[in-house]
């Protein structure tokens, strides 16, 4: 990374409009998509409560201007033995794959496993290029910075918890051994919770990836249990009192949302909406959406905690696991419709490509009847 601070906050415009119906699509082992019909009613949910933007979700681009236009799942592709983690561009993903060129290591239960290494995968020509590998560990891609030039990743091994950061241009790496969790505040700043301490840190990478030095965020005076996300200078975290809070690095002011039991949180790219998974008395989390101050959270479904905003901010994808039914759904806030795009709740990594045209669903589960990754391709009306 160069040392000039030029965080890119623009997001790619959406080329496909999600709506209520699916047409028949390519069959993939283990995936069933039911064809729906325009005349049939579609599921709806109540819109989030009022906020500074009157509860409306900003959409960067609406090609037809008609929220009732329907899109389709144009096709689905199954990728064997590869788990898509994150997207670098429209057709290139960071993926996890068993690396059989490395020696096996022993898991917690004594099972011999091959390490999982990270690669880049071009979905157009199926080219797989090694990105980073380590002996005796399985690596998970954790988070890309906003301009997709640096990656936080987690090498997992027996009894070890370590985060690292990789400069994708130079392939230099640095250990974040001081971090229990870590998220990007901007292109050159990482924030998170200290390992072994209930305090938040901030680490500046603008002087080089090999000069990472964390400092305690003195403005956060209460103890921190978990840092969920950082967005536009604001840090969302759960305090020791189990309440969800937001710290503004510019004003050094902390706001409490009055919510407890939040296990995961995602800020919409325009910072007008929040999606969060929250445990109450149930063992299954409730997925809710609300305005940026979460004054009136509205429930969407019960989830296992996997959900993701599309970069165009119109759609939220999520995994449903309510004990009686399961699957992957997308909710379109402009047309207020919900569509199922895959069955099963075994997906543990979901991600959008930058144009919001492809949703990747990945699992580490070994199975002969389904692929390790399912790519769901969306098509705009008239295409």
Give residue-wise pLDDT tens across range 307-325: 999 998 888 999 987 666 6
Exposed/middle/buried for 109, CB within 10 Å: 0-12, 13-18, 19+? Answer: exposed
Query: Are 118 and 96 a contacting pair, CB within 8 Å?
Result: yes
Residue with tokens 């989390």: 285
CA distances (Å), 105 to each of 56, 138, 160, 163, 164, in order? 51, 10, 13, 20, 20
Q: Of 121, 153, 120, 128, nearest to 138 (Cα)?
A: 153
Instruction: Answer whether residue 36 shows pLDDT above 80.
Output: no
Range in 38-52, 189-203, 245-259, 336-350 the model is least confident about: 38-52
Residues 6+ apart with CB under 8 A from 141: 85, 86, 94, 96, 118, 151, 153
Instruction: Answer whether residue 30 shows pLDDT above 60.
Output: no
CATH number for 72-379: choose from 3.30.450.40, 1.20.81.30, 3.30.428.10, 2.130.10.10.
Answer: 2.130.10.10
Mean pLDDT over all residues of the chain? 80
Residue 279 pLDDT: 86
60 pLDDT tier (thresholds 50, 70, 90): very low
What is the C-alpha separation between 299 and 310, in angstroms, rounded? 19
- How would DSSP label each residue in 140-175? EEEEE-TTSSEEEEEEEETTEE--EEEETTT--EEE
Q: Which two tokens stand for residue 273?
A: 């909406």
336 pLDDT tier (thresholds 50, 70, 90): confident
What is the C-alpha separation between 280 and 159, in angstroms, rounded? 30
Give domain limits for the chain.
72-379
pTM for this model (two decimals): 0.80
Residue 71 pLDDT: 58
Q: Of 308, 269, 313, 378, nearest to 84 (Cα)?
A: 308
Chain centroid offset of residue 295 CA: 23
Q: Which two tokens stand for residue 206?
A: 């603008």
Instruction: Answer whether residue 341 shows pLDDT above 70.
Output: yes
15 pLDDT tier (thresholds 50, 70, 90): very low
Q: Of 182, 184, 150, nearest to 166 (Cα)?
A: 150
Exposed/middle/buried for 369, CB within 10 Å: 0-12, 13-18, 19+? Answer: exposed
């Amino acid at each position: 990374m160069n040392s000039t601070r030029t965080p890119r906050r623009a997001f790619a415009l959406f080329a496909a409009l999600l709506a209520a119906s699916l047409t028949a699509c390519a069959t993939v082992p283990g995936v069933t998509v039911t064809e729906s019909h325009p005349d049939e009613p579609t599921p709806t949910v109540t819109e989030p409560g009022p906020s500074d933007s009157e509860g409306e979700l900003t959409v960067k681009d609406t090609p037809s201007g008609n929220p009732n236009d329907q899109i389709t799942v144009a096709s689905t592709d199954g990728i064997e033995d590869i788990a898509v983690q994150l997207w670098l561009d429209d057709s290139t993903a960071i993926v996890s794959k068993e690396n059989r060129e490395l020696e096996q290591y022993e898991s917690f239960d004594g099972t011999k496993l091959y390490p999982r290494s990270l690669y880049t995968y071009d979905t157009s020509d199926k080219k797989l290029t090694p990105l980073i590998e380590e002996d005796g560990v399985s690596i998970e891609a954790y988070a890309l910075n906003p301009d997709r030039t640096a990656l936080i990743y987690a090498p997992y091994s027996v009894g070890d918890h370590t985060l690292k950061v990789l400069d994708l241009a130079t392939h230099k790496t640095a250990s974040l051994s001081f971090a229990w969790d870590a998220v990007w505040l901007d292109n050159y700043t990482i924030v998170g919770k200290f390992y072994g301490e209930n305090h938040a840190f901030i680490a500046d990478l603008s002087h080089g990836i090999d000069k990472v030095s964390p400092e305690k965020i003195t403005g956060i005076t209460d103890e921190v249990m978990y840092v969920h996300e950082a967005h536009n200078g604001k840090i969302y975290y759960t305090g020791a009192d189990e309440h969800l809070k937001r710290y503004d690095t510019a004003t050094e002011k902390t706001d409490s949302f009055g919510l407890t039991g939040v296990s995961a949180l995602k800020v919409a790219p325009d910072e007008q909406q929040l999606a969060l998974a929250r445990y109450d008395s149930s063992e299954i989390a409730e997925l809710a959406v609300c305005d940026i101050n979460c004054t009136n959270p509205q429930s969407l479904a019960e989830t296992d905690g996997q959900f993701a905003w599309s970069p165009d901010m119109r759609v939220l994808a999520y995994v449903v696991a309510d004990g009686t039914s399961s699957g992957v759904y997308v909710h379109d806030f402009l047309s207020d419709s919900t569509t199922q795009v895959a069955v099963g709740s075994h997906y543990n990594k979901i991600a959008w490509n930058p144009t919001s045209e492809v949703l990747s669903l990945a699992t580490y589960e070994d199975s002969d009847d389904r692929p390790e990754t399912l790519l769901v391709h969306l098509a705009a009306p008239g295409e």
